[in-house]
A and B are shown apart, each in its own frame.
Chain A
Amino acid sequence: MLSEERRTEGTALTQPASGRLANPDIRDEFGLETIDMNMGPQHPAMHGLLRLILELDGETVVRCDPVMGYLHRSKEKISENRMYPAVIPITDRIDYMNNMAMEYGYCLAVEKLLDVEIPPRADAIRALMNEFSRIMSHIPSLGFLLLELGAFTPILYAFRERERIQSIMEAVTGARMMFHYIRLGGVKADLPEGMPETMWEYIEGLESHLQPDFIDLIEGNEIFIARTRGVGKITPEKAVEMGLTGVPLRCTGVEFDVRKHYPYGWYKNLDFDVVTDQAGDVEASYRCRIGEVRQSIRMIKQILENLPEGEVMGDTGRRIRPTEGDGIARVESARGEYAVHVVSDGSDTPYRVHYRTPCTVNMQLLQEIVPGHYLPDIMPIMGLIDPVSGAWDK
């Protein structure tokens, strides 16, 4: 517990009400006041368990204060109490929409402290599964965005794609969501017989119905444009200042992708573009996500064309004991830069594991850009950030 003199201000439950009105000139005559309102933690349109304390002037938000922690499962403390390989299933449950990237980041961080060589085939399969996982996360997130705007059809198409990828994942990893597939030193098992052909067939199919099912259906829609164009506008300076990564950063025009600028694993051998957009609003984020799905398709095709032969597991020894020191690795998850910092003291369990989840950082944006918007615009802005409850709460 902090002693009294070390406590700074700000120990109150929430920020104090600002009391400022959106249009003070008009409102003052009528003696109107702002009202406080809770949105969540249980809200039908919220992406999980998040409570927003909103101060409203009529329908305009003047203050937004996110309260997190409703799904906090103390992943970092649990990780300190488990042997190194047993932490991988824990990381799976951080971002449950894009699990493969979570495993990948942790394994890369520990492998920095291990003396192990990853076989090229394992590296290629890791990248392959990561890209499938990214598609599996991006397409439903478009569906959710549209669902919150009142369009029910896209979510059905989105979940059709997710189901098909889940079947592929199930055949490869044995699980539909919590894969536990990437292991220290490689991957759990090789691809089953005939799987590259199945994947190729699926990817060609996805490429052909991306246009009719997601772009033609959504992009020209008048309601979609009215609800998203110019909403949640972020400038590139603001985005960099707030530490945004992933689609919220790239949709403002700043070109940064961990796969490109801090390459890891098989991504060094792949040819792909970083998708950016200039507008920096919700519509731009939608275009970025579609563009990234196209790039993922391109990468999957490249990997399948040149899949190296050989082993899929390096030799880590029977008992995994990394050398003393720090291992920091970062990967591009579907939501941005996901970094893992593992501190080892040479024993069987990590001394400390820190997960830098992109959602937590990107969510700070809510405090900054929601004020000034109408209450119903919060949902499209959440669609821009696309947070996952498990990832922001850890």
Chain B
Amino acid sequence: MAVTLPEGNLETRLSRYLEGFNNRHGIEDSLVEGDLVLVVVKPDDVPAVLTTAREALGILHLSFITVVDRQGSFELTYELLDLRGAQVRVRTTIEGEEPVIGSVTGIYPTANWHEREAYDMFGVAFKGHPDLRRLYMWQDHFDHHPLLKSFEISTRRTFEGLR
């Protein structure tokens, strides 16, 4: 088989991944818990960190990208799997109302539609994306990014006062 999947014990792999990130980049915070390695990095470092993950550490699969609107900042989570039991989570926070971050499509081609979705729903601009169009919403005459907390829906409900 042409695809090389990682081998060996889960704990050694997790520590190898964490060490690999620590040696090459300035990691703000990190955590190892169960089958998970979580690293918190600066937004500018994200493409470099993911390049390390793909090229040096051999983590093959980008599962998804989640954007969370923290009202004033945006939290991005890149979930990577090595397909053999370990999860690697790269987290970053972009300050401000107009988020811009480097695209990772050159490293993980599957990120193409994940980034298009994030752009569509949150207006996150991915620098260097080859084809940054909306994925779900219509292209013309629609200037909103619906998953932002500032996008109000008419049937907003609160559950205060319920017991």
Which A residues are within 8 Å of any B CB, using their own CB? 1-3, 6-15, 68-69, 72, 74, 76-77, 81-83, 235-237, 240-243, 245, 253-256, 261-262, 319, 326, 328, 330, 337, 339, 341, 343, 347-349, 351-352, 354, 356, 360-361, 363-364, 393-394
Which residues of chain A have C-beta atoms less than 8 A from B108's C-beta? 241, 243
- Tell me the bound Cα distance from A9 to B153 in angstroms: 30
Which residues of chain A have C-beta atoms less than 8 A from B157's C-beta? 81-82
- Ranked nearest first, the 6 interchain pairs of A and B with the lowest CB-CB distance are A243-B110, A356-B64, A69-B136, A1-B143, A348-B159, A354-B66
Q: How far is the CB of B96 from chain A (nearest CB, A)?
A: 11
> Residue A241 contacts which of B77, B81, B110, B136 (CB distance < 8 angstroms)?
B110
- Tell me the bound Cα distance from A14 to B138 in angstroms: 11
Q: Does B8 contact A (CB under 8 A)?
A: no
Residues facing A in B17-53 (CB within 8 A) are 35
> Residue B64 contacts which of A11, A82, A341, A347 (CB distance < 8 angstroms)?
A341
Besides A328-B89, A343-B66, A343-B68, 18 other CB < 8 A contacts? A1-B123, A1-B144, A2-B98, A8-B125, A69-B134, A69-B135, A69-B137, A72-B136, A77-B151, A236-B3, A240-B3, A254-B5, A262-B81, A319-B163, A337-B63, A339-B79, A360-B113, A364-B113
CB pair A240 B139 closer than 8 Å: no
CB pair B109 A241 closer than 8 Å: yes
CB pair B2 A237 closer than 8 Å: yes
Interface string of B69-83 (1 = CB under 8 A from A): 100000001010101
CB pair A8 B127 closer than 8 Å: yes
Q: Does B129 contact A (CB under 8 A)?
A: yes
Most chain A beta-carbon neighbours within 10 Å: one of B110, B129, B151, B155: B110
Q: How far is the CB of A184 from chain B (nearest CB, A)?
A: 16
- Tell me the bound Cα distance from A192 to B78 in angstroms: 43
> Residue A351 contacts which of B64, B68, B130, B134 (CB distance < 8 angstroms)?
B68
Q: Does B57 contact A (CB under 8 A)?
A: no
- Tell me the bound Cα distance from A341 to B134 in angstroms: 22
Which residues of chain B have C-beta atoms less than 8 A from A8's C-beta? 125-127, 129, 132
- Classify the interface of chain B: helix, strand, loop or mixed: loop
Which residues of chain B have C-beta atoms less than 8 A from A68's C-beta? 135-136
> Residue B121 contacts which of A15, A76, A242 (CB distance < 8 angstroms)?
A76
Nearest CB in chain B to that of A14: its residue = B133
CB pair B137 A10 closer than 8 Å: no
> Residue A339 contacts which of B63, B84, B129, B135 (CB distance < 8 angstroms)?
B63
Which residues of chain B have C-beta atoms less than 8 A from A81's C-beta? 153, 155-157
- Tell me the bound Cα distance from A320 to B61 in angstroms: 33
- Tell me the bound Cα distance from A314 to B128 in angstroms: 48
- Tell me the bound Cα distance from A235 to B2 in angstroms: 9
Q: What are 6 A-B contacts defined by CB distance under 8 Å?
A: A8-B127, A11-B139, A343-B66, A361-B110, A364-B110, A394-B136
Which residues of chain A have C-beta atoms less than 8 A from B127's C-beta? 8
Which residues of chain B have C-beta atoms less than 8 A from A82's C-beta? 157
CB pair B130 A10 closer than 8 Å: yes
- Tell me the bound Cα distance from A319 to B100 in angstroms: 39
- Tell me the bound Cα distance from A240 to B58 in angstroms: 12
> Residue A352 contacts which of B60, B66, B126 (CB distance < 8 angstroms)?
B66
Which residues of chain B have C-beta atoms less than 8 A from A243's C-beta? 61-63, 108-110
- Tell me the bound Cα distance from A351 to B66 in angstroms: 13
Q: Does B140 contact A (CB under 8 A)?
A: yes
CB pair A361 B113 closer than 8 Å: yes
Q: How far is the CB of A156 from chain B (nearest CB, A)?
A: 35
Q: A69-B137, A235-B2, A319-B163 are in contact. Are A341 and B153 (CB under 8 A)?
A: no
Q: A356-B63, A364-B110, A364-B112 are in contact. Are A10 and B129 (CB under 8 A)?
A: yes
- Tell me the bound Cα distance from A361 to B127 in angstroms: 21
- Tell me the bound Cα distance from A237 to B3 in angstroms: 6
Q: How far is the CB of B28 from chain A (nearest CB, A)?
A: 17
Residues facing A in B98-132 (CB within 8 A) are 98, 100, 108-110, 112-114, 117, 121, 123, 125-127, 129-132
CB pair B60 A240 closer than 8 Å: yes
- Tell me the bound Cα distance from A12 to B134 in angstroms: 9
Most chain A beta-carbon neighbours within 10 Å: one of B1, B100, B140, B163: B1
Q: A236-B2, A241-B110 are in contact. Are A7 and B121 (CB under 8 A)?
A: no
Residues facing A in B148-163 (CB within 8 A) are 151, 153, 155-157, 159, 162-163
Nearest CB in chain B to that of A15: its residue = B131
> Residue B3 contacts which of A72, A254, A356, A363 (CB distance < 8 angstroms)?
A254
CB pair A256 B137 closer than 8 Å: no
- Tell me the bound Cα distance from A8 to B125 in angstroms: 8
Which residues of chain B have C-beta atoms less than 8 A from A343's C-beta? 66, 68
Q: How far is the CB of A94 from chain B (nearest CB, A)?
A: 13
- Tell me the bound Cα distance from A216 to B95 in angstroms: 61
Which residues of chain B have C-beta atoms less than 8 A from A11's C-beta? 132-133, 139
Nearest CB in chain A to that of B134: its residue = A69
- Tell me the bound Cα distance from A76 to B69 in angstroms: 13
